[in-house]
Structure 1
C-alpha cells in the first residue's frame, strides 16, 4: 500500500490550471485553497511511496511572517501566511488524504463519520469563509 510522502503546492492563474492529480474534496466542492478569497488559485498535489518515510499527520501553520522554507497556501490573498507541514512521528502512516470544506467547523466525530482517522487544523482560520481541513486515512 502506498503512503503519503509529500504534498506539493501548485499555483495557477485560472481554474483551468487545476492539476488532475491534485487532492480532491470529500464532496466534490472546489479544491482551490484560496476559493472565495482572491489571490492565486492554490492546489495541493500528493506524492505517495513507501512506509519508511511516510507522513503520520499534517499540521497547518498560520503566522504573520513569511517563511521561505514553505509555500504559502494563501498566496496573493493578503493577510496571514498559511503553510502545511507533514509530521513523521513514527505513528500510523497516512494512506489517503482529501480536503474537507464546510460552512461550519467540524469536530473529530464528524470526521470519523466520513471514514477518516485524522484531521488538520482549519486552513482558513481567522480569514472567514468556509472552514477547510485536510482529512486522512491510515
Structure 2
C-alpha cells in the first residue's frame, strides 16, 4: 500500500501503472511478486477471492475502497511442473475469457462487482517447465 509504486511492483501488460484500485477509490494497492529458487514450490496459478469479511493472512486488494474484500491467492501444485515465471495485470473495458497471446493463464476478474468504477482487471501469467535438479 502507498502512493509511490514499489520498484518491483507488477504493471499491466500495456506497461502502465499497476494500481489495483485505479478509478475505484481507496488506497493505492500494488502487487509485488515473491520469488523462489525452489522450483517445486513455485506458484502454478492465482485465484481471486471476493468476500464480505476479512481473510486472515492476506492483504486486501480493495483497501479503503469500500465494499467487498478482494484477495489474490497464490496456488502451488507440486505435481504440476509448469511454474509461473512472470505476472502482469490486464485491464479491459469488457469481460475477458482467455489470457492474451503469450500468456498461459489468468485469474478471475479482480473488479467483479465494481466494474462501474473501474475496468475489468485480471492477473495474467507466463509459465515455464521446471525440470528439477539434475
TM-score (norm 1): 0.84
Which structure is higher in strand share? 1
Which residue does the alignment assign to 2:89?
99
Aligned match for 1:26, one of 2, 10, 13: 13
8 Å CA contact 1:29, 1:101 repeated in 2: no
Matched, 1:41 2:31: no
Q: How much has 1:28 moved relative to structure 2? A: 2.2
Distance 1:56 1:38, change over 3 A: same
Alpha-carbon distance in structure 2 between the residues aligned to 1:121 and 1:64: 17
Matched positions, count: 122
In structure 2, runs of 5+ residues without a counterpart are 128-134
Which residue does the alignment assign to 1:58?
46
Alpha-carbon distance in structure 2 between the residues aligned to 1:22 and 1:78: 23
Matched, 1:119 2:117: no
Divergent runs of 4+, >3 A = none
Alpha-carbon distance in structure 2 between the residues aligned to 1:69 and 1:48: 18
Give the RMSD, CA atoms, in angstroms. Answer: 1.1
